[in-house]
Structure 1
């Protein structure tokens, strides 16, 4: 059974080369979205008044069709090299892993797409399947406290985008709110990249060996965030108590 889990609102072909190199091994299970219907995505962007995004997606779809990042053979090899599962989550769902099975979970830009009750439920599931001392590392938009760019607009990406749409950000996170969510679900929170209420931008990657991470003292993924595509963002670790 796999020892590591990756949760993201994207498929392998949309991840960074550094991420695919790390996650495309037999040790990992990847939970991501289903195939993209580019025509629907582009049409919806224009319907929602997101003209710049619609044009960007149109150009991206043309580029991908004519100059794909990966050819069909490479893509098949990537998906065959680990376990990929299409993933949607709501409160009451159960992750298909045994209790105390995994040691490390990485999640990139997924939890902001969940309402708070669903996010708490997913964190509880992650706590259940992690071994004591295991870690979940989450990367989400630092919606309100970030100083490296303006705060996230309300009802992102637009008030015209319905709350049922998969692109909608349904929750807003800061180092304080995500830490509290981790506390509530049985984790010891530790900020890795974040902005605090005094407008300080802090990067505090752990440097192994460290007693904070009993299962991952020598694991190289603890000391890097190179597998995240969208940085800077809020990055918080939760260590299972």
Structure 2
């Protein structure tokens, strides 16, 4: 059986049905966030003076309570189908898995929340975990080059949010800088969906899907249906076979 890792995953109750259909399967391990304490999140945004963020979170919490995406029985089935572990990482840490033990790793909008040394350390850990030919697919905000939206403002989500807060974006990425991160970690970069320096958007998903049709995770490489926030900068890192 192929093995896949979902890194810094949202809890399943926040994922779409197409995402859980792909990700909540035997052979998957999900390293993700603890349950969200919605009242505490709202109070924290109010303490920062971020009234817009507080209102948005309050509305989201009520919407999810009144119109849950999954029933309690469905959620129990999703969590029983695979393994979910709460997750925290910083430089010097180690993911608790053997070398070359995964075929595919996916991460959505997590690496921008890490300082550069932590991001590189985590990517090196992912390289260690991948089998030769294995792929890590990462989605992050295209902070500087995106032509489909204004560039991400520095210090997102705003100056009032402290740098040690979990919502803070501590690094900025584009196709060039993330490619270099992958190279430094010993991976071959393959841009999937990205903007070039002239802010033109490119989608090379079909090329990626046709590159290795016999890959153990070929069906996952051929889609991005498990990502919630699109368009984004999406990059593959491929572990060399030799």
State the TM bucket, normalised to the shorter chain: over 0.9
Asked if the contact 2:9/2:30 (under 8 Å) is kept, the reply is no
Partner Cα separation in structure 2 for residue 197 and residue 49 of structure 1: 36
Partner Cα separation in structure 1 for residue 74 and residue 223 of structure 2: 26
Specify the alignment match of 1:30 in structure 2.
Answer: 30
Gaps of at least 5 residues in structure 1 are: none
Specify the alignment match of 2:50 in structure 1.
Answer: 50
Range with greater deviation from structure 2 (95-104 or 51-60): 51-60
Specify the alignment match of 1:161 in structure 2.
Answer: 161
Relative to structure 1, the CA distance from residue 208 to residue 57 in structure 2 (aligned partners, 3 Å threshold; closer, same or farther) is closer
Displacement over 4 Å in runs of 4+: none
Partner of 1:199: helix, strand, or coil?
A: coil
Asked if the contact 2:49/2:160 (under 8 Å) is kept, the reply is yes
Partner Cα separation in structure 1 for residue 119 and residue 103 of structure 2: 20
Partner Cα separation in structure 2 for residue 68 and residue 16 of structure 1: 11
Counterparts of 1:1-241 in structure 2, within 5 Å, are 3-205=3-205, 206=207, 208-211=209-212, 215-216=215-216, 219-241=218-240
Kindly tell me the number of residue pairs found equivalent between the two proteins.
239
CA distances 1:48-67 after superposition (whole Å, capped 9, x unpaired): 23222211111111122222
Asked if the contact 1:130/1:240 (under 8 Å) is kept, the reply is yes
Query: How big is the alpha-carbon RMSD for the aligned residues of Structure 1 and Structure 2?
Result: 1.6
Partner Cα separation in structure 2 for residue 129 and residue 22 of structure 1: 21
Partner Cα separation in structure 2 for residue 47 and residue 11 of structure 1: 26
Asked if the contact 1:48/1:160 (under 8 Å) is kept, the reply is yes
Asked if the contact 1:131/1:240 (under 8 Å) is kept, the reply is yes
> TM-score if structure 1 supplies the norm length?
0.94
Relative to structure 1, the CA distance from residue 67 to residue 21 in structure 2 (aligned partners, 3 Å threshold; closer, same or farther) is same
> TM-score if structure 2 supplies the norm length?
0.94
CA distances 1:143-191 after superposition (whole Å, capped 9, x unpaired): 0110100111111101111111111111100000000000001100010
Deviation at residue 2 of structure 1 after TM alignment: 6.3
Partner Cα separation in structure 2 for residue 203 and residue 210 of structure 1: 15
Relative to structure 1, the CA distance from residue 154 to residue 234 in structure 2 (aligned partners, 3 Å threshold; closer, same or farther) is same
